[in-house]
Amino acid sequence: MGSAVQIIIYGIMVGAVYGLVAIGLALLLGIMRYLNVAHGTFIMLGGYVAFWLFTLWQIDPFLSIPIVVLVMFILGLVVYKLVFSPLHKLPEGLKIADSMLITFGLILVLDNATTWLWTSDVRSVTTSYTGETVSLLGVRLAYTSLAGFALAILAILALHLLMTKTYFGKAVRAATQDWEAASLAGIDVQRTYLISCGIAVALAGVAGVIMVTSYSITPAGGMAWLLVAMIVVVLAGEGNINGLFAAGLFLGLVEAASVFVTGASYREVIGLVMFILVLLFRPQGLFVRKARGT
C-alpha cells in the first residue's frame, strides 16, 4: 500500500510539471501553427535566469519568478518579431515546416550563447530548504517538489482563466479558428500572436525555475524536455490546451508505475512507446472527444 501511494503521489506531482512544460509548445502550435523545437531551450534559459539571480544577488528562485517571467516574456516578443512574424501568411503546412527548421537553428544559437555565458557545466540551485522533506500520507516529499507542483498548478490555472475569462482569450480563440475572419472582425491578429508568443516563452521560463531547483540544467538539456512536451501534446491532442494537464498527469503516473515493471533506467522509454502508439492508433489524442456523428 505504501508503494502504491508513493507511485500515485510521485506521478501526480511529476505529471503536473509535465503539463506545465508542454503548455508553451501547445500554445504556439495550436494558435499560430508554429512548431517551436527551441521550446526546451527556452525552459533551460528560464532556469539560467533564476540561477543567475540566485548566484549574483541571492534571490530565492521561487521569489525570482516575476523577474524570470518578465525577462522571458520580452524574449518571446523578440523571438516572434524576428523569427515567427515573417511566416505569418504562409500556408499551414509551410508554417509548421519552416518554423521547425528556423527554431532548430535558433537552438544552435541559444545553446552556444548559454555555453559562453555559463559554460557547459551542470547547474542547479541549492537553497536553505533544499533536501528538506515533509511527510504526506506516509510519503516523504521534498519541499522543492511540492513548490514545483504548486507552481505548475497555479500557472496552468492562470492560463486557463486568461483564455476563458478575458477579451484577449476570446481574441486568441478567434484567431485560432480563422485569423482572416478575426482580422475582419476588428481583432489585431498580429498583436494577439505577439502576446501569445510572449506568454508561451514566459511559461517555459516558469518551467525552467522548477528544473533548476528540482532537477538540473545544461545548455543542451532542453532537448529532453522538448521531447516530454511533444509527448504530452500528442497525448492531449493537437490544439487541446485544456487536456494538457490531464495528459501530463497520465504520463507522470504511467512513468512512475513503469519503474516497478521495467526499472528506473527505462522510465523515459515508456513515454516514447506511448507517443508512437498514440500517433499510430489515435492521432487525435487521448483526451479529445470525437465530434458527434464522426
Separation of CA 43 from chain center: 7
Angstrom distance (rounded) from CA 159 to CA 165? 10
Range scoring the smallest mean pLDDT among 66-80, 125-139, 200-214: 125-139
| 103 has a pLDDT exceeding 50 | yes
Residue 286 lies in a domain: no
Q: How many CB atoms lie within 10 A of CB 165?
A: 10
pLDDT digits (tens, 9 = 90+) for 129-157: 888 888 776 777 888 888 999 999 999 99
Q: What is the DSSP letter of 142?
A: E
How crowded is residue 253: how many other Cβ atoms within 10 Å of its Cβ? 17
CATH of the domain at 263: 1.10.3470
Domain that holds residue 32: 2-281
What pLDDT shows up at residue 51? 94
In a domain, 291, yes or no: no
Task: State the Cα–Cα distance between residues 201 and 207, nearest whole angstrom.
Answer: 10
Least confident of 35-44, 89-98, 191-200: 89-98
Output the pLDDT for position 292: 36
Q: Is the per-residue pLDDT at 291 higher than 50?
A: no
Residue 266 is predicted with a pLDDT of 72
C-alpha angle 283-241-223 in degrees, rounded to nearest 5:
75
Cell for 113? 550563447
Residues 64-91: what's their mean pLDDT?
92
CA 169 – CA 192 distance, rounded (Å): 9
The answer to which of 241-245, 257-261, 279-283 has the lowest mean pLDDT is 257-261
Grid look-up 470525437 returns 290
Residue 246 has pLDDT above 80, yes or no: yes
Question: What digits encode the pLDDT tens for the residues 262-271?
Answer: 766 677 788 8
Q: What is the pLDDT of residue 243?
A: 84
Contact 234, 284 (CB under 8 A): no
Q: Which long-range contacts (CB under 8 A, 24 or more apart) does 112-117 make?
A: 112/219, 114/44, 114/45, 114/48, 114/219, 115/219, 117/48
45 vs 114: CA distance, rounded Å: 8
**CA separation for the pair 82, 85 (Å, rounded):** 7
> From residue 262, how far is each of 8, 111, 232 by CA, in Å?
17, 33, 21
Which has more pLDDT, 283 or 2?
283
Q: What pLDDT does 87 receive?
A: 86
Residue 113 lies in a domain: yes
pLDDT higher than threshold 70 for residue 24: yes
Instruction: Report the C-alpha gap between 63 and 89 in whole angstroms.
Output: 40
Q: Is residue 289 part of a domain?
A: no
Query: Does the residue 267 lie in any domain?
Result: yes
Q: Which residues face 133 on adjacent strands?
A: 142
Count up the domains in the chain and report the number.
1
Q: How confident is the model over 20-24, as a mean pLDDT? A: 93
User: Stretch 272-279: mean pLDDT, rounded?
Assistant: 86
Would residue 288 count as lying in a domain?
A: no
Residues 118 and 101: their CA atoms lie apart, in Å, by 26
For residue 289, pLDDT over 90 is answered with no
* Confidence grade of residue 9 (pLDDT, cut at 50, 70, 90): confident
Identify whether 121 is part of a domain. Answer: yes
- Cell readout for 165 is 475569462
- What pLDDT does residue 5 have? 75
